[in-house]
C-alpha cells in the first residue's frame, strides 16, 4: 500500500460518515438532501452520496419525460427524488395568451413602464416563464410523469394532493412534503406523507413565517416515528449536525448548489450571490405571487416602490412578468438578475463543484461533532 492509500485509509477511519435511519431507507451515504432544477447538479449530488431532488415545477411540460429519462440513464441505479409544486386555486386549463389578455390594465402598464425604464430586452428562447401558466391540466401531466418515473422519492411543495401521495406510496415511492408550519405538517401527516421537510423562513424559494430553528423541533415533536428533514438557511456541515441534534434525520439544501459549476449559473447571478450576505435576501410576492425568498436586485426593489401595485396572485404574476425573469437570465442582466435564494447565501463565496461542496459539508459535519466531543471531555461537570 503506497503512502497515499495509507493517508486515504487513515482519513476514512477518522471521518466515519454520520448516518441516520433515513440514509438506510433511501440507500445514501450522507444525511444531505439537495434540491436543484439542474440535472447535472442532481447527478453529482447522487454520485457524492447525498440524496438529490430534481425540481420539475418550472420545466417545459413537453421536455419533462426527456429530462427524467436522461437523468435516470446517467444515475444508473443511484436513488433520487423529483419535486413538484402543486398550489390549489389555479385554472383548470389555461393558455398564457388568454390569461395575459385578462390581466389588470394598471399592472400591465406598471410592468411595461419598468421594462422601458430598465431597457429589458425581450427573451429570444421559449421557456416555462414565457409560454406556460400553472393549471390543473399541467399538474396532471407532471404528476403522471413523476409517477411513471423510477424516482424513489416524490416531493411536493405549496400544495398537498392525497391522490398523488396514495398512488406514489402504492408504487413503492417515498413521499416528502415541504411544510412551513405546524398546521401544514398536521395536514401532511394526516394524508400519510412519509417524510416531512420542515422548511423555515430562512429558505430560498416559497416560505412560511417561522424560522428553521423554531420550526424543526416543533415538527419533530409531532411527527412521531416519521422522519423529519431540516431545510432553510443551511450552508455548513455544523448546521447539518445542528439539524440532527434537533431530531431531524437530515438537512435539505437548495441555495448552496447554485455555486456549483454543474448548475450553469449565469455569471451575473453568480457575482450577485457571491457578493450577497443573508440580509440581501428578501421575501417578495413579485416573483410568483406567493411569498418567496429571493436575492434582491433592482427588479425586486422596484416592486417595493411606493407607486408599485401589489403583486397578482399565483399564477397571474408570472403571466404578467415572467418574460422579464426569463430575459434577465437569458441576457445575464447584472442590474436586474435575481433568483430564489435563502439566508444560506452566506455559504456562497465563489464557483466550486458539487463534489467539493459535499466533501466540505461532510468534513465540517465531522469537525463539529469532534468539537462537541471535545467540549464534553474537557469541561468539568458541575
Ligand atoms: C433556485 C431555487 C429554486 C427552488 N425551487 C423550488 C421548487 O421548485 N420546488 C420546491 O419544493 N422548492 C424549491 N426551492 C426550495 C428548496 O427546495 C429548499 O427548500 C430551499 O432551497 C432550502 O433553503 P436554502 O435555500 O436556504 O438551502 C427552491 C430553492 C431555490 C434556491
pTM exceeds 0.85: yes
Q: Which domains does the chain have, with CATH numbers?
A: 23-362 (3.20.20.70)
**Per residue in 3-44, pLDDT tens?**
444 444 544 445 567 999 999 999 999 999 999 999 999 999
**Per residue in 60-87, pLDDT tens?**
999 999 999 999 999 999 999 999 999 9
Measured in angstroms, how far is the CA atom of residue 115 from the centroid of ligand 1? 27
Measured in angstroms, how far is the CA atom of residue 59 from the centroid of ligand 1? 14
CA distance 49 to 27: 9
Q: Is 157 in the pocket of ligand 1 (CB under 6 A)?
A: yes
- Mention every residue, 6+ apart, whose C-beta is less than 8 A from residue 263: 36, 38, 40, 41, 257
**Per residue in 285-311, pLDDT tens?**
999 999 999 999 999 999 999 999 999
- Closest residue by CA, ligand 1 atom 16: 254
pLDDT at 2: 40
**Per residue in 353-364, pLDDT tens?**
999 999 999 999
- Closest residue by CA, ligand 1 atom 1: 340
Measured in angstroms, how far is the CA atom of residue 203 from the centroid of ligand 1? 7
pLDDT at 10: 47
Q: 131 with 100: CB under 8 angstroms?
A: no
Tell me which residue of 364, 377, 299 sits closest to 337, measured CA to CA: 299
Q: Is 204 in the pocket of ligand 1 (CB under 6 A)?
A: yes
Q: Is 254 in the pocket of ligand 1 (CB under 6 A)?
A: yes
Helix (H, G, I), strand (E, B) or coil at 177: strand
Amino acid at each position: 500500500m503506497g503512502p497515499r492509500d495509507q493517508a486515504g485509509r487513515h482519513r476514512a477511519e477518522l471521518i466515519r460518515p454520520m448516518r441516520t435511519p433515513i440514509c438506510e431507507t433511501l440507500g445514501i451515504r450522507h444525511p444531505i438532501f439537495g434540491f436543484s432544477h439542474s440535472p447535472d447538479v442532481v447527478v453529482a449530488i447522487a454520485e457524492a452520496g447525498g440524496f438529490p431532488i430534481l425540481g420539475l415545477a418550472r420545466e417545459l411540460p413537453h421536455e419533462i419525460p426527456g429530462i427524467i429519462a436522461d437523468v435516470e440513464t446517467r444515475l444508473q441505479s443511484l436513488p433520487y427524488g423529483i419535486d413538484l409544486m402543486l398550489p390549489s386555486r389555479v385554472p383548470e386549463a389555461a393558455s398564457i395568451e388568454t390569461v395575459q389578455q385578462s390581466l389588470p390594465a394598471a399592472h400591465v402598464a406598471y410592468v411595461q413602464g419598468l421594462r422601458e425604464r430598465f431597457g429589458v430586452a425581450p427573451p429570444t428562447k421559449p421557456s416555462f416563464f414565457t409560454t406556460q401558466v400553472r393549471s390543473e391540466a399541467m399538474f396532471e401531466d407532471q404528476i403522471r410523469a413523476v409517477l411513471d418515473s423510477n424516482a424513489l422519492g416524490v416531493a411536493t411543495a405549496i400544495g398537498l394532493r392525497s391522490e398523488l401521495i396514495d398512488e406514489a406510496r402504492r408504487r413503492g415511492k417515498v413521499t416528502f412534503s415541504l411544510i412551513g408550519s405546524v398546521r401544514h405538517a398536521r395536514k401532511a401527516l394526516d394524508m400519510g406523507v412519509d417524510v416531512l421537510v420542515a422548511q423555515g423562513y430562512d429558505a430560498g424559494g416559497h416560505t412560511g413565517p417561522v424560522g428553521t430553528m423554531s420550526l424543526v423541533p416543533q415538527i419533530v415533536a409531532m411527527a412521531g416515528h416519521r422522519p423529519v428533514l431540516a431545510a432553510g438557511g443551511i450552508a455548513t456541515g455544523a448546521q447539518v449536525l445542528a439539524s440532527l441534534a434537533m431530531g431531524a434525520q437530515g438537512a435539505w439544501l437548495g441555495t448552496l448548489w447554485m455555486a456549483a459549476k454543474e448548475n450553469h449559473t449565469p455569471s451575473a447571478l453568480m457575482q450577485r450571490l457571491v457578493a450577497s450576505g443573508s440580509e440581501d435576501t428578501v421575501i417578495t410576492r413579485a416573483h410568483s405571487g406567493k411569498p418567496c425568498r429571493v436575492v434582491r436586485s433592482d427588479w425586486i426593489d422596484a416592486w417595493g416602490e411606493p407607486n408599485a401595485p401589489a403583486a397578482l396572485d399565483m399564477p397571474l404574476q408570472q403571466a404578467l412578468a415572467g418574460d422579464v425573469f426569463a430575459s434577465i437570465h437569458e441576457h445575464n442582466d447584472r442590474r436586474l438578475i435575481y433568483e430564489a435564494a435563502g439566508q444560506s447565501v452566506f455559504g456562497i463565496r465563489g464557483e466550486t463543484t458539487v463534489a467539493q461542496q459535499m466533501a466540505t459539508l461532510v468534513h465540517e459535519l465531522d469537525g463539529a461533532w469532534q468539537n462537541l466531543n471535545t467540549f464534553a471531555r474537557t469541561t468539568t461537570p458541575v
